[in-house]
Amino acid sequence: MTSTKPLRCVVLLSGSGTTLQNLIDQQELGQCPIEIVRVISSHKEAFGLERARKHNIPAVAFHRKDYDTWETFNEDLVRAVDEVKPDLILLAGFMFLFRPGPEYHGRIMNVHPALIPAFCGKGMYGHHVHEAVLAYGVKITGATVHFVDEGYDTGPIILQKAVEVYDDDTPETLAARVQAAEREIYPEAIRLFAANRLRIEGRRVKIVDPPLLDPSM
């Protein structure tokens, strides 16, 4: 049996929040069984905060530059997440490592704008990824949704979607097509999680049918 209640989600972001907007839109259309209970930003001026407030989602910023160390920054993030006890944590263009306690293992997802393990890791986010893809000259890139572990973009992969690179692409035109892929696979991964159909086996995530038994039963 799977839960019919929406998943209580916290979204972490650093920038313009188009990924958050997609999740809000999907939720409002009834396409994604989530309730976003808090948005947390690493930047005070992130436009994602505006988007959250416009939809009456409580939003808070912990400005990374106000902290001397990543550890104290992470502590405040973890406290803000723990306060609302989410079922699922969604990274949506969040630029920093985020490390909550082991109780969130298998309950944090990220979307990355490339086909992991290519063009990922520290410093590889947003437009840097698309610039690197074009500089290298690969013909295929794409989007990846994965569970978050201790490293940068190293957790088990849930879904990927390939995107062709065109000769006349710029980082902007390529980003637009990759983000369209992200808009498809992020809600799909969340739907699979909500339906209890994701089974993590080491590095692999299997999509099972029928769903796994609800562990709370």
Write out the residues near ligand GAR by the rule CB under 6 A.
13, 15-19, 48, 92-93, 111-113, 125-126, 129, 179, 182
CB of 217 to ligand GAR, least distance (A): 35
Q: Cβ closer to ligand GAR: 13 or 37?
A: 13
Quick one: which of 154, 64, 170, 60 has its CA closest to 110? 154
Chain position carrying tokens 């309950």: 107
Q: Cβ closer to ligand GAR: 117 or 210?
A: 117
CB of 4 to ligand GAR, least distance (A): 28
Question: Cα(202)–Cα(13) distance, rounded to whole angstroms?
Answer: 27
Q: Cβ closer to ligand GAR: 47 or 195?
A: 47
Would residue 112 show up in a list of annotated catalytic residues for this protein?
A: yes
Q: Cβ closer to ligand GAR: 37 or 52?
A: 52
CB of 95 to ligand GAR, least distance (A): 7
Extended beta strands in 33-179, E state: 34-41, 59-61, 88-91, 108-112, 140-147, 157-164
CB of 56 to ligand GAR, least distance (A): 19
List 112, 127, 128, 146, catalytic entry: 112
Structure tokens that stand for 65 in this block: 């530059």
CB of 26 to ligand GAR, least distance (A): 14
> Closest residue to ligand GAR, Cβ-based?
93
Q: At 179, give phi and psi (nearest 5°).
A: -65, -30
Alpha helices in 86-170 (DSSP H): 127-136
Quick one: which of 161, 175, 193 has its CA closest to 90? 193
Q: Cβ closer to ligand GAR: 104 or 125?
A: 125
Residue pair 34/188 in contact (Cβ under 8 Å)? The answer is: no
Per-residue b or e along 74-104, where b marks 16 or more CB atoms closer than 10 Å to that residue's CB:
beebeebbeeeebbbbbbbbbbbebbbeeeb
Q: Which residues are part of the catalytic machinery?
A: 112
